[in-house]
Amino acid sequence: MYKSARLRVGETVVGLFTLGIGMFLAIDTWRTPPSAAVAVVGPGMFPTLIAIGMGIVGLQLLWEGYLHRFAEEDIPDLDWRAVGIVAAALASQIFLLEPLGWIICGTVVFTVAAMAFGSRRHVLNVVFGLLLTSVTYLVFDYGLDLDLPTGSLIEDVIAPTE
Amino acid sequence: MQISRRAFATLIATATTAALLMQNPAQAQELKSLHLMAPSSPGSGYDQLARTIQIILQDNKLTGPVEVQNVAGGGGTVGLSQFITTRPRHPSGMVIGFALVGGVLTTKSAVTLDQTVPVARLMGEADAIVVPAGSDIKTLADLIERLKADPTKVSWAGGSIGGVDHVAAGLIAKTVGVDPKKINYVVHAGGGEVLASTLGGHATVGISGYEEFRAQVDAGQLRALAVTGEERIPGVAVPTLKEGGVDLAVMNWRGIMAHPKATEAERAALEKAIGDLVKTPQWKDALAKRGWIDTYLPAKEFGSFLADEQKRVETALKEVGLL
Amino acid sequence: MDTFAALMHGFAVAITPYNLMWSLIGVTLGTAIGVLPGIGPALTVALLLPVTYGLEPTSAFIMFAGIYYGAMYGGSTTSILLNTPGESASIVTALDGHAMARKGRGAQALATAAIGSFVAGTIATIALTFVAPLMVKLALLFGPAEYFALMVLALTTVTAVLGASLSRGLASLLFGLALGLVGIDLQTGQARFSLGIPELLDGIDVVIVAVGLFAVGETLFTVSRHRFETEELYDLKGSKWMSKEDWSRSWKPWLRGTLLGFPIGALPAGGSEIPTFLSYLTEKRLSKNPEEFGHGAIEAVAGPEAANNASAAGVLAPLLALGLPTSATAAIMLAAFQQYGLQPGPLLFDNNPELVWGLIASLYIGNVMLLMLNLPLAGVWVKLLAIPRPWLFSGILLFATMGAYTLNNNIVDVAILWIIGIIGFGMRVFNVPVAPCIVGLILGPLAEQQFRRALTISQGDATIFVTHPISLALLLVAALLVLLPTFFRWKSLRDERAQASLDATHSTKAENV
């Protein structure tokens, strides 16, 4: 396993991420106009310290990545497709939860995630998802007076407003 | 498949509309339900008012069921923006107050109170300035003397920046001729922490709603130098700022706004419900128990008060150096 | 023994069938909401306030206290079984508790949590009965300087969770500290790193980050490894009950956790997370097998769970004696007192002895009820883990989303959960420990505020941290905690090297011969 010209991926990714966040903190702090309110220690001190810390740790990680460039990668085998599917299902909630409501959206996530985990009993998954989301909706919205996202297709029907 | 689903939705929509139509004429005068937004976490001032309103409206059958929703964040502006932008499923109202007027300004919020419709101002709360019983500051005059000598030597424990406590402290300094930007104001998260800081003698004075200090003042562990309202709090023998020679009155207030998309009838019904609410003995009782002062203003007067208040708060925040 | 007589009178009030019923309702409800992520005791009490309006104040408070204690018990359940902490006080429990569950020891983890909670709850309630006034006097000695020192001490917990690579552990800590900066700066009102999103002005909620890193990140990692793993997770191994060894490893952490939890809970700005951190640190430092920590050490469940329950009792000390709320739930209970026209504080014990002592007595009863409720339930809950993997993990994702959404009724929180979840997945892939991030996120903002408050009061005089005796003592302990292990490691490393070079010279000599 020779990857001579490259840095080891693990350290490099973490290092770059840390450096990136540190740089964001530094630039944002530096560009914020000083507050008009008096403060003995201003709002910029802790961000500056953290940014410096992230700079040092980020560089250290890159250096470790360089030192270990001949070592074997310590990243396990990953099923990227499955991760992508679950991540996409969760992301869909951000946009669909409020328009479609908890029951439909939750069932979709449940079914898709179960599929990514290798379940092939799709119909059963849908039924089970519907059951779980409906029960939680009723418990939360009625029993506890909390607001789960309400869509106009299902929730309004099983739990009409008035 | 496509058609049947659409047909199903139409059927449901028709059924729901029909149900609503059938019920509506029967109780045209009264709100069948009410959704109240409290733009802060449970237990806070807005939340307490919202839940008091909820109980009294329901108990006296002034409206149908009332639901309170807490959306905290950004000095109340997160709740405000959610209130304005969501399509209301119920007739809805929102609890607002002094802090939200300031919050809209300091967070440079994209939504403002002008996008909502005033319903009523309900109550007010005076701040109190207190020192530990052992402090050598005996009166308001002592405090002012210290403040004039060196404003940085007097540390004020108070609530959030730009809130009523901060504004009151700043305006006191300004009124007695001290630069309000120079005051040593120490922000605490909530009245409990202010109380602890003052009782423990970590700050020179504490400034917060009188109720936060009442038990300790009664027990003689704290000394109240002044209350910040126009008049004394009923049943409390603490002088006002004016009596102490500082020509100033600052008071926290809270009121209720209606949703911008509310129909004329809904708004009228809400105004009437609140108008009836303030006449109930239960409301008078709640005011007394919580130390709130009755400052009820109906919709029109509240509207003009709010317009003035927004200008006043903006000036005050500029003076303490926040804007 | 005036207190004792008053307490007996309190029992007489609390033990009526009517009040016992409210206590039972309270603890059952509390356990249920503790299990559900996203809603905590604060919200539940707030929701119940209007409902209890017609109730006798004594009965209402007996129920509220049951909810509060019950939520502390229930909070550990989802942490251990689903890696989804419902409240910030049970985040630490998830670290080793869930590791135990993965190894098939979920029942033991739940049992040590429940019994530890009972032991801690009972001892702390005794402390509340007899030393509350003293505790409150001590608590008031804590000013900003002392709090800052306490936060620094708690931050040393990070040394116990850094993991194998120092730089990765520090990267995680710094990331947590950076997340903690987001939002309006309390002292100046300036918005920091909020990217113009109003929902970020109040900062990023700890529970969302914990659920994102633990539940979502872990689920993504599990699905990515699903095809490659043959090992069956969660299979119950052996008995459901705690073994003799489990007991002997648990009882000391229970007591030490109580000792940390009660006084820190009584501090006006102490909170329930800090004692759980300190308990974890203490147990790891005292353990004979520190390498087990993070992989399912029972001490790391027993200690922090005892600590968070003891802190719940601690919180009641300043609430009853001063009218000083030190947690969100206490703030709502204060509001509830006011609803009944009661004024907690120095005069409450004199004016309403029946209520106060009835409430305190109900805490003892509630604790017993909770133990009877939770111990048998532990066996039932672990059956959840027998659910087929696809359903179990899909269910975890649903609960995580629901928790994030209901926290503030806000879709932005769901988006944050997603982003943090992806980052959490990345951290698992690249071997970055997640615990330091949580420690940084919780303690960073507290430490910063107290540090700046202290310097504002002293007008920039930094000696305030060393001239105050309590602050100085706490800082010295923190320094020792960091320096001593470093020193020992350096020493053992030096010895090893000396040994190694000795061996080397021997072997070269041998070759030469």
% of residues, chain B, pLDDT over 90: 40
**Distance between CA atoms of residues B75 and C191, nearest Å:** 12
Do residues C278 and C286 lie in contact, with contact meaning Cβ atoms separated by under 8 Å? no
**Distance between CA atoms of residues C343 and C319, nearest Å:** 10
Count of domains forming chain B:
2
pLDDT attached to residue B22: 43
pLDDT attached to residue A51: 94
The token duo for B2 is: 């496509």
Nearest to B9 among A153, A160, A161 (CB): A153
pLDDT attached to residue C158: 85
Partner-chain contact A41 C174, CB within 8 Å: no
Partner-chain contact B321 A36, CB within 8 Å: yes
**Distance between CA atoms of residues C31 and C333, nearest Å:** 18
**Distance between CA atoms of residues C493 and C500, nearest Å:** 10
A111-125, B206-220, C128-142: lowest mean pLDDT where? Answer: C128-142
The subunits that touch chain A, with at least 3 C-beta pairs less than 8 Å apart, are: B, C
Contact list in B for residue C322 (CB cut-off 8 A) is 195-196, 199, 215-216
State the virtual CA torsion across C77, C80, C83, C88 in degrees, nearest 10: 60
Partner-chain contact B322 A37, CB within 8 Å: yes
Return the CA Rg of chain C: 24
CATH number of the structural domain spanning residue B210: 3.40.190.10
Q: pLDDT at residue B7 above 70?
A: no
Residue C324, min C-alpha distance to chain A (Å) = 27
Band of pLDDT at residue C504, cut at 50, 70 and 90? low
Partner-chain contact C189 B193, CB within 8 Å: no
Residue C241, min C-alpha distance to chain A (Å) = 30
Partner-chain contact C224 A147, CB within 8 Å: no
Q: Which residue has the higher pLDDT, C378 or A145?
A: C378
**Distance between CA atoms of residues C120 and C110, nearest Å:** 15
Phi, psi torsion values for B252, nearest 5 degrees = -80, 140
Q: Comparing C-alpha atoms, which of C268, C154, C317, C468 is closest to residue B157?
A: C268
Partner-chain contact A41 C181, CB within 8 Å: no
**Distance between CA atoms of residues C282 and B70, nearest Å:** 38
**Distance between CA atoms of residues B191 and C449, nearest Å:** 16
pLDDT attached to residue C38: 62
pLDDT attached to residue B24: 44
C416 in contact with B, Cβ within 8 Å: no
Cβ-based neighbours of C478, under 8 Å, separated by 6 or more? C149, C152, C153, C155, C156
pLDDT attached to residue A146: 63
Last residue of a domain, one of B205, B234, B251: B251
pLDDT attached to residue B241: 92
Nearest to A162 among B32, B320, B323 (CB): B32
B198-207, C380-389, C453-462: lowest mean pLDDT where? Answer: C380-389
Nearest to C406 among A50, A83, A146 (CB): A146
Q: Which residue has the higher pLDDT, C426 or C238?
A: C426
**What mean pLDDT comes out for the span C179-196?**
84
Contact list in A for residue B89 (CB cut-off 8 A) is 150, 161
Q: Comparing C-alpha atoms, which of A105, A141, A110 is closest to residue A124?
A: A110
Query: Looking at the structure, do residues B264 and B217 belong to the same domain, yes or no?
Result: no
Query: Looking at the structure, do residues B67 and B162 belong to the same domain, yes or no?
Result: no
Contact list in C for residue B284 (CB cut-off 8 A) is none
* Integer CA distances (angstroms), C499 to C490, C493, C495, in order: 14, 10, 6
pLDDT attached to residue B137: 92
Query: Looking at the structure, do residues B59 and B208 belong to the same domain, yes or no?
Result: no
Do residues B72 and B78 lie in contact, with contact meaning Cβ atoms separated by under 8 Å? yes
Contact list in B for residue C188 (CB cut-off 8 A) is 161
Residue in B closest to C51 by C-alpha: B55
Which of B4, B6, B10, B12 should we substitute to test contact with A (largest number of A Cβ atoms within 10 Å)? B12
Q: By residue range, what is the domain housing residue B137?
A: 125-251
**What mean pLDDT comes out for the span C75-103?**
85
Q: Which residue has the higher pLDDT, A145 or B277?
A: B277
B280 in contact with A, Cβ within 8 Å: no
In this structure, is residue B262 part of a structural domain?
A: yes
Residue A70, min C-alpha distance to chain C (Å) = 17
3-state helix, strand and coil shares in percent for chain A, rounded to the nearest 5: 65, 0, 35
pLDDT attached to residue A120: 85
Q: Is B164 helix (H, G, I), strand (E, B) or coil?
A: helix
Contact list in C for residue B37 (CB cut-off 8 A) is none
**What mean pLDDT comes out for the span C32-36?**
76
Q: pLDDT at residue C391 above 70?
A: yes
Tokens 């939504």 identify what position? B111
**Distance between CA atoms of residues C44 and C33, nearest Å:** 8
The amino acid at residue C41 is P
Nearest to A94 among C43, C406, C418 (CB): C418
- Determine the angle formed by the axes of helices C299-322 and C106-140, rounding to 10 degrees: 30
Partner-chain contact C202 B73, CB within 8 Å: yes
Q: pLDDT at residue A147 above 70?
A: no
Q: By residue range, what is the domain housing residue C24?
A: 2-467
Count of domains forming chain C:
1
For residue C212, the surrounding DSSP H or E stretch is none
**Distance between CA atoms of residues B275 and B60, nearest Å:** 13
**What mean pLDDT comes out for the span C143-167?**
86
Partner-chain contact C343 B218, CB within 8 Å: yes
Tokens 């850094």 identify what position? C162
DSSP A70-91: TSPP-PPP--HHHHHHHHHHHH
Tokens 């939680």 identify what position? A136
* Integer CA distances (angstroms), B42 to B49, C42, C332, C333, in order: 11, 7, 7, 11
In this structure, is residue B38 part of a structural domain?
A: yes
B323 in contact with A, Cβ within 8 Å: yes
**Distance between CA atoms of residues C266 and C138, nearest Å:** 9
Partner-chain contact C322 B216, CB within 8 Å: yes
Q: pLDDT at residue A70 above 90?
A: no
B14 in contact with A, Cβ within 8 Å: no
Q: pLDDT at residue C53 above 80?
A: no
Do residues C300 and C113 lie in contact, with contact meaning Cβ atoms separated by under 8 Å? no
Last residue of a domain, one of B251, B267, B291: B251
CATH number of the structural domain spanning residue B294: 3.40.190.150
The token duo for C494 is: 């030096």
pLDDT attached to residue B1: 37
Q: Classify residue B240 by its DSSP letter.
A: B
pLDDT attached to residue C265: 87
In this structure, is residue C491 part of a structural domain?
A: no
Taking only the tens place, the pLDDT of each residue in B144-192 is 999 999 998 899 998 888 888 989 999 999 999 998 888 888 888 776 7
Query: Looking at the structure, do residues B131 and B247 belong to the same domain, yes or no?
Result: yes
- Determine the angle formed by the axes of helices C41-48 and C57-82, rounding to 10 degrees: 150
pLDDT attached to residue B238: 92
Which stretches within C192-326 are classed as H helix? Answer: 206-211, 217-225, 244-266, 273-286, 299-322
In this structure, is residue C137 part of a structural domain?
A: yes
The token duo for B195 is: 């109380």
Phi, psi torsion values for C294, nearest 5 degrees = 95, -15
Nearest to B12 among A37, A150, A157 (CB): A157
Sign of CA dihedral C151, C154, C156, C159: negative
Q: Please, is B303 exposed, middle or buried when counting C-beta atoms within 10 Å of its C-beta (0-12, 13-18, 19+)? A: middle
**Distance between CA atoms of residues C47 and C35, nearest Å:** 17
Last residue of a domain, one of B232, B251, B270: B251
List beta partners, residue B252: B125
Partner-chain contact A156 B9, CB within 8 Å: no
Do residues C379 and C107 lie in contact, with contact meaning Cβ atoms separated by under 8 Å? yes
Q: Comparing C-alpha atoms, which of A37, C462, A33 is closest to residue B184?
A: A37
Burial B8-32 (b: 16+ CB within 10 A, else e): eeeebeeebeeeeeeeeeeeeeebb
Q: pLDDT at residue B20 above 50?
A: no
Nearest to A37 among C188, C432, C451 (CB): C188
Alpha carbon B255 to its chain's center: 7
pLDDT attached to residue A113: 92
Sign of CA dihedral C108, C110, C113, C118: negative
Residue A69, min C-alpha distance to chain C (Å) = 15
Residue A62, min C-alpha distance to chain C (Å) = 10
Band of pLDDT at residue B25, cut at 50, 70 and 90? very low
Alpha carbon C419 to its chain's center: 24
pLDDT attached to residue A158: 59
Query: Looking at the structure, do residues B48 and B114 belong to the same domain, yes or no?
Result: yes
Q: pLDDT at residue B130 above 90?
A: yes
Nearest to B187 among C141, C186, C323 (CB): C186
Partner-chain contact C224 A79, CB within 8 Å: yes
A34 in contact with B, Cβ within 8 Å: no
Q: pLDDT at residue C255 above 60?
A: yes
pLDDT attached to residue C68: 86
Q: Which residue has the higher pLDDT, C44 or C24?
A: C24
Q: pLDDT at residue B4 above 70?
A: no
Query: Looking at the structure, do residues B132 and B245 belong to the same domain, yes or no?
Result: yes
The token duo for B68 is: 């309170």
**What mean pLDDT comes out for the span B59-67?**
87
Highest mean pLDDT (candidates C188-202, C362-376, C381-395): C362-376
How many angstroms separate the first and last alpha carbons of chain B?
59
% of residues, chain C, pLDDT over 70: 94
The total of other beta-carbon atoms located within 10 Å of residue B236's CB is 16
B42 in contact with A, Cβ within 8 Å: no
Do residues B238 and B227 lie in contact, with contact meaning Cβ atoms separated by under 8 Å? yes
The token duo for C148 is: 């800052």
Query: Looking at the structure, do residues B108 and B129 belong to the same domain, yes or no?
Result: no
pLDDT attached to residue A153: 64
Do residues B41 and B74 lie in contact, with contact meaning Cβ atoms separated by under 8 Å? no
Contact list in A for residue C398 (CB cut-off 8 A) is 106, 109-110, 132-133, 136
* Integer CA distances (angstroms), A32 to A27, B253, C69, C191, C195, in order: 9, 33, 45, 9, 12
Report ipTM for this prediction: 0.89
Band of pLDDT at residue C237, cut at 50, 70 and 90? low
**Distance between CA atoms of residues A104 and A92, nearest Å:** 12
How many angstroms separate the first and last alpha carbons of chain C?
84
Q: Which residue has the higher pLDDT, A161 or C178?
A: C178
Query: Looking at the structure, do residues B307 and B211 belong to the same domain, yes or no?
Result: no
Q: Average pLDDT, whole number, for chain C?
A: 84
Contact list in A for residue B12 (CB cut-off 8 A) is 156-157
Contact list in B for residue C144 (CB cut-off 8 A) is 186, 197, 202
DSSP B183-218: -EEEE-SSHHHHHHHHHTTSSSEEEEEHHHHHHHHH
Q: Comparing C-alpha atoms, which of C236, C225, C233 is closest to residue C428?
A: C225
Query: Looking at the structure, do residues B267 and B210 belong to the same domain, yes or no?
Result: no
Sign of CA dihedral C359, C363, C368, C370: positive
Q: pLDDT at residue B27 above 50?
A: no
Alpha carbon B59 to its chain's center: 23
The total of other beta-carbon atoms located within 10 Å of residue C227's CB is 13
**What mean pLDDT comes out for the span C100-121?**
90
Band of pLDDT at residue B16, cut at 50, 70 and 90? very low
Q: Which residue has the higher pLDDT, C230 or C208?
A: C208
Residue in C closest to A73 by C-alpha: C430
Q: Which residue has the higher pLDDT, B34 or C387?
A: B34
Contact list in C for residue B77 (CB cut-off 8 A) is 198, 201
Band of pLDDT at residue B139, cut at 50, 70 and 90? very high
**What mean pLDDT comes out for the span A97-105?**
85
Q: Which residue has the higher pLDDT, B274 or C485?
A: B274
- What's the pTM value of the predicted model, to 2 decimals? 0.82
Query: Looking at the structure, do residues B155 and B304 belong to the same domain, yes or no?
Result: no
C190 in contact with B, Cβ within 8 Å: no
Query: Looking at the structure, do residues B281 and B236 belong to the same domain, yes or no?
Result: no
In this structure, is residue B7 part of a structural domain?
A: no
**What mean pLDDT comes out for the span B100-110?**
85
Strand boundaries in B133-177, DSSP class E: 155-158
The total of other beta-carbon atoms located within 10 Å of residue B88's CB is 16
pLDDT attached to residue C157: 82
Contact list in C for residue B188 (CB cut-off 8 A) is 453
Residue B234, min C-alpha distance to chain A (Å) = 35
Residues found in chain B: 323
**What mean pLDDT comes out for the span C22-47?**
79
Burial C259-282 (b: 16+ CB within 10 A, else e): bbbbbbbbbbbbbbbbbbbbbbbb
Nearest to C456 among A24, A39, A129 (CB): A39
Residue B209 backbone class (left: φ over 0; alpha: ψ -120 to 50; beta: rest): beta
Nearest to C192 among A17, A47, A90 (CB): A47
Q: pLDDT at residue C168 above 80?
A: yes
Nearest to A83 among C44, C223, C397 (CB): C223
Taking only the tens place, the pLDDT of each residue in C266-289 is 887 777 888 999 999 999 988 888
**Distance between CA atoms of residues B73 and A116, nearest Å:** 36
Partner-chain contact B321 A157, CB within 8 Å: no
